[in-house]
Structure 1
Amino acid sequence: MSSLATQFGQTFSDHPLRKAFMKWQCRVRQMAMRESEGRPDDAIMPAVLLTGQAEPLGHVITVMNKAPGYSVTPELLHMAAKTNDPAQIRDQAIRFLSSAYYQRAEEFSDILTATFPPGSPGAAQIHESGECRLLFDAYAQRFDLTCKVWRLAPHNLLHQATMAHNGLFNPQMPPDTVVLGFEPDWGRSSADPEIR
């Protein structure tokens, strides 16, 4: 895996596990938007396991971003700029994200992202490890993804998309928020029940 994938936001893998995971993520994220007003659950908040660690470091809230060819980052930024009322912004975001946003799994990057406070020791530890496992376990489905970890620069398209998305739900997010990217190695990842 190369950093080129993180620049383009896509690994271009046609691995069956990738396809199954992306479809599942779209379904559970749409459910979260429609039924839980966007509140993340275990399907969106995997446990993070670092190499050599038996216990998870903790859970992170992941963002699934559109691939650059399908990006809606300008629309998300416009939504946030239209009003100063956080409740209005959140309502608009939930309406937008619960409609057709998650309908087509193939429009999304398989590089998940997560935000951390500036200077976060947890983010530093995850990034320094270079690799981690993300354990998703919800709705009778488990995915164990082995991921390369990237610290995304502000000019990276996935960094920009993540900040725009999370800014809708947290308008007070500092501009120097740390954004990590998690690039799955589909050949070293697994699902239970197995994907056929």
Structure 2
Amino acid sequence: MSELTAALGIAPVRHPLRDAFLKWQCRVRQIAMREGLGRPDDAVTPELWLEGAEAPMGHVITVLNKAPNASKTPELMHIAKRTADPAERRGKALEFLSQTYYQKGQEFSDMLTATFPPGSEGAARIREAGRCRLVFEAYAQRWELACRVWRLAEHHPLHQATWWHNFLFNPQLAPDTVILGFEPDWAASAADPSPV
């Protein structure tokens, strides 16, 4: 079932690999916020492989967003609008995201998102392909996610959540930033070692 339909209030289909991945992502992102000052590491920047490619297209920085029914986008917007000082904004974002934000994996969407500059040729190639593989390798764990690719419209809840999250760390983020969603097909995905 598509995350796009989940945004309309339809519950996502549960899969053991999905639940294990979300739990892992919450743990590694909490570490990044608490110990790495929010800097993206290998656990959140997978290699992106297009179908039939002999090499990865590159790494993409992903965002793990709360599902629409557990959204914290208003809080992210409040932090962003509260001050014009980028350092203060970043500090407040780190404080907010390192506390309890990543405590409950079941509150998160399994559709990862990523931002690309306006007019990005790379984003256009990924979107045109329609499918890709995201390969995460960190903390002695490997995940290979077979994903369907969506270009998220500005009104989509995960577009809004992603834009405001990234704006907290990048005050130069363009209003017309391209945001792609990567929806895993859990039956075609794998992990090593397998958590299930």
Give the shorter-chain TM-score range.
Answer: over 0.9
Matches within 5 A, 1:23-102: 23-102=23-102
SS at match of 1:81: helix
Please say if residues 9 and 111 of structure 1, whose CA atoms lie closer than 8 Å, have aligned partners that are also in contact: no
Percent of pairs with identical residues: 63
1:153 aligns with 2:142: no
CA change 1:9–1:125 in 2 (3 A) is farther
User: 1:194 deviation in Å?
Assistant: 1.2
Q: Over residues 52-75 of structure 1, what are the superposed CA-to-partner deviations in whole Å (9 max), with x where a residue is unaligned? A: 002000000000000111101011
CA distance in 1, matches of 2:168, 2:30: 16
Superposition TM-score, scaled by structure 2 size: 0.96
Code of the residue aligned with 2:60 in structure 1: it is V
Code of the residue aligned with 1:13 in structure 2: it is V
CA distance in 2, matches of 1:170, 1:144: 28
CA distance in 1, matches of 2:57, 2:68: 31
Gaps of 5+ in 2: none
CA distance in 1, matches of 2:99, 2:15: 28
User: 1:24 deviation in Å?
Assistant: 0.1
> Once superposed, what is the RMSD of the aligned Cα atoms?
1.4
Q: Over residues 27-59 of structure 1, what are the superposed CA-to-partner deviations in whole Å (9 max), with x where a residue is unaligned? A: 000000000000000100000000000200000
- The corresponding residue for 2:168 is 168
Please say if residues 11 and 110 of structure 1, whose CA atoms lie closer than 8 Å, have aligned partners that are also in contact: no
CA distance in 1, matches of 2:74, 2:169: 16
Superposition TM-score, scaled by structure 1 size: 0.96
Code of the residue aligned with 2:189 in structure 1: it is S
User: 1:195 deviation in Å?
Assistant: 2.0
1:189 aligns with 2:182: no
SS at match of 2:102: coil
SS at match of 2:20: helix
CA distance in 2, matches of 1:9, 1:190: 27
- The corresponding residue for 1:138 is 138
Please say if residues 2 and 183 of structure 2, whose CA atoms lie closer than 8 Å, have aligned partners that are also in contact: no
CA distance in 1, matches of 2:164, 2:143: 27
